[in-house]
Structure 1
Amino acid sequence: MSQPRPKFYIRLLDRLSGVSWKSIYRLSSALNFLLYRVVPYRQKVIFQNLRRSFPGKNEDEIRAIARRYYRHLADTIFETVKYRSCPAEEILERIEGDIGLVDRLYTEGKNVLFLMGHRGNWELANLFSSLRFSHECLVVYRPLANRDFDQWFLDLRTRFGAKMVPMNDIAAELRKPRRKPYVVVLANDQSPPPESAFWTTFLHQDTGFFRGGEILARRNDLTVLYADFSRIEAKRGFYHVEISLICDECKTLPRNGVLEKQIRLLESDIRAQPFNWLWSHRRWKHKRPS
Structure 2
Amino acid sequence: MQLLVFIVSYPFLWGISRLPNWALYGLSDVVYVLIYKIIGYRKRVVRRNLTLSFPEKSLEEIKQIERKFYHHFCDIFLEMLKTMSFSQKEMQRRMVFPNKELLDRFYQNKQSFIIMCGHYNSYEWLLSLAAQIPHTSYALYTPITNKYFDRFIHKIRGKFHSYLLSRYKAIEEIRKQQHNQELCAYGLASDQSPSSSPKGYWRTFMGVMVPVFTGAERIAKQFNIPVVFCDIQKIKRGYYEATFVLISEYPAQTAEHQITDTFTELLEEQIRKKPEYYLWTHNRFKHSKQEDLSKKL
TM-score by length of 2: 0.91
Contact 2:233 2:242 in 1 (8 A): yes
Query: Is 1:155 aligned to residue 165 of structure 2?
Result: no
Question: For residues 201-240 of structure 1, what are the structure 2 equivalents within 5 Å?
Answer: 201-232=204-235, 235-240=236-241
Deviations 1:34-85 (A, max 9, x none): 1221111111111111011011111221111101000010001100110022
Q: CA offset at residue 169 of structure 1? A: 0.9
Unmatched runs of 5 consecutive residues or more in structure 1? none
Match of 1:78 in 2: 78
| 2:187 alignment partner, one of 170, 181, 185 | 185
Residue type of the alignment partner of 2:232: F
| Pairwise CA RMSD | 1.8
SS of residue in 2 equivalent to 1:255: coil
Q: 1:226–1:245: 8 Å Cα contact kept in structure 2? A: yes
Conserved 8 A contact 2:222-2:252: no
- Closer/same/farther in 2, CA of residues 5 and 216 from structure 1, 3 Å limit: closer
Whole-Å separation in 2 of the counterparts to 1:174 and 1:106: 17
Instruction: Give the structure 2 partner of residue 63 of structure 1.
Output: 63
Alpha-carbon distance between aligned partners in 2 of 1:48 and 1:204, rounded to the nearest angstrom: 13
Is the 1:80–1:124 contact (alpha carbons within 8 Å) kept by the matching residues of 2? yes
Tell me how far 1:215 sits from its aligned partner. Answer: 0.8
Q: Tell me how far apart the structure 2 counterparts of residues 198 and 144 of structure 1 sit (CA, whole Å).
A: 27
Find the aligned partners of 1:99 and 1:208 in 2 and give their Cα distance: 32
Asked if the contact 2:130/2:160 (under 8 Å) is kept, the reply is yes
1:126-275 alignment runs, 5 A limit: 126=127, 128-177=128-177, 178=180, 180-195=182-197, 197-232=200-235, 235-275=236-276
Deviation sequence 1:113-166 (CA, Å, 0-9, x none):
11110011121111x221112111011000011222211111101112212110
The residue identity in structure 2 corresponding to 1:66 is E
Give the 3-state SS of the residue equivalent to 1:7 in structure 2: helix
CA deviation vs aligned residue, 1:179-229 (integer Å, no higher than 9, x gap): 641110000112111116421011110122212111100111100000021
**1:10/1:148 contact within 8 Å kept:** no
In structure 1, what residue type is equivalent to 2:272? R
Q: 1:287 to 1:236 in 2, by over 3 A?
A: closer
Tell me by how many angstroms 1:270 deviates: 0.3
Q: Quick one: which amino acid aligns to residue 229 of structure 1?
A: I
Contact 1:270 1:276 in 2 (8 A): yes
CA distance in structure 2 between the partners assigned to 1:130 and 1:83 by the alignment: 14
SS at match of 1:168: coil
Q: Which runs of 5+ in 2 are unaligned?
A: 290-297
Q: Indicate the residue corresponding to 2:285 in structure 1.
A: 284
Amino acid across the alignment from 1:111: S
Give the direction of change, closer, same or farther, for the CA distance of 1:58–1:11 in structure 2 (3 Å limit). same
3-state DSSP of counterpart to 1:176: helix
Q: Pick closer, same or farther for the CA change 1:110–1:15 going to 2, 3 Å.
A: same
> 1:11 corresponds to which residue?
11
Do the aligned partners of residues 101 and 33 (structure 1) sit closer, same or farther apart at CA in structure 2, a change above 3 Å counting?
same
Tell me, what secondary structure is at the counterpart of 1:160? Answer: coil
Quick one: which amino acid aligns to residue 205 of structure 1? Answer: V
TM-score, with structure 1 as normaliser: 0.93
Distance in 2 (CA, whole Å) between partners of 1:99 and 1:219 is: 25
Q: Which residue of structure 1 aligns with residue 294 of structure 2?
A: none
- Residues 227 and 242 in structure 1, CA contact (< 8 A), matched pair in contact too: yes
* SS of the residue 1:175 aligns to: helix
